[in-house]
Amino acid sequence: ETGVTQSPTHLIKTRGQQVTLRCSSQSGHNTVSWYQQALGQGPQFIFQYYREEENGRGNFPPRFSGLQFPNYSSELNVNALELDDSALYLCASSLEQGHGELFFGEGSRLTVL
Amino acid sequence: KQEVTQIPAALSVPEGENLVLNCSFTDSAIYNLQWFRQDPGKGLTSLLLIQSSQREQTSGRLNASLDKSSGRSTLYIAASQPGDSATYLCAVRHGGGNKLTFGTGTQLKVEL
């Protein structure tokens, strides 16, 4: 059984560019959520996808968007990158919404220059 | 708005010591609480999940307790080892969905 995998592991972008981060959920998990973790802070919830629909969102602007595919994998897209978007982006999957244990990937480290 | 606080922010102990990490939350209407471990620059590893109806969970040398009414959880680590050195995060879930609210973590160092 494979765990949650994310790509790329590291990337560097410049302000104003766009970025796409990818996540493959753990086998059989149908719910994917994304988190942003700034240095020295706890992760902050960005949004969640269940059955290819966004069904929960944290306090992030619309330039943060996502997709979930029929195989439950997911993408996080960030447009018009800002310096403060530099962070570790974590993907988490769970077998069911609301009560199940969340399993996290290793994250994608984004640096915006 | 749910707020999660972890005390202490950092802790250094000698190998073999038993230790307790604390987590408090302001809104007691939670579905569950999960403890994670994070190594530097890495993702989160789930340690223990406690449902709101449970009082504690154990896994090996780890024991987590939950007192929902007082908004507190503790993570007890027995016989600490240098490999336990990491940041420990607690997170609460409330409402439907998978939104977790995290604390800022306790950075643990276990010295030889």
Whether the per-residue pLDDT at A107 is higher than 90: the answer is: yes
Per-residue pLDDT of chain B (112 residues; tens, 9 = 90+): 899 999 999 999 999 999 999 999 999 999 999 999 999 989 999 999 999 999 999 999 999 999 999 999 999 999 999 999 999 999 999 776 789 999 999 999 999 9
Q: What does the alpha-carbon distance between residue A85 and residue A101 come to, in Å, rounded to a whole number?
A: 27
Q: What is the pLDDT of residue B53?
A: 92
Which carries the bigger pLDDT value, residue B28 or residue A20?
A20
Q: What is the pLDDT of residue B96?
A: 67
Q: What is the pLDDT of residue A28?
A: 83
| % of chain A with per-residue pLDDT over 70 | 96
Q: What is the pLDDT of residue A30?
A: 87
Q: What is the pLDDT of residue B94?
A: 78
Overall average pLDDT of the A6-18 stretch: 98
Strand pairing of A10-13 and A64-68?
unpaired
Contact A43 B45 (CB under 8 A): no
A14 contacts A111 by C-beta, under 8 angstroms: no
Nearest-CB residue to A98 (from B36, B42, B96): B96
Q: Chain A neighbours among B 28-57 (CB < 8 Å)?
A: 31-32, 34, 36, 41-46, 49, 51
Q: What phi and psi, each to the nearest 5 degrees, are found at residue B38?
A: -135, 120
| % of chain A with per-residue pLDDT over 90 | 78
Which carries the bigger pLDDT value, residue A100 or residue A3?
A3
Confidence of residue A44 (pLDDT cuts 50, 70, 90): very high
Contact B45 A106 (CB under 8 A): no
Whether the per-residue pLDDT at A1 is higher than 60: the answer is: no
Overall average pLDDT of the A59-63 stretch: 97
Q: What does the alpha-carbon distance between residue B37 and residue B46 come to, in Å, rounded to a whole number?
A: 7
Nearest to B101 by CA among B45, B39, B43, B31: B31
What's the Rg (C-alpha) of chain A?
13
List the single best residue of B98, B101, B102 to mutate versus A (max A Cβ within 10 A). B98
Note the residue count of chain A. Answer: 113
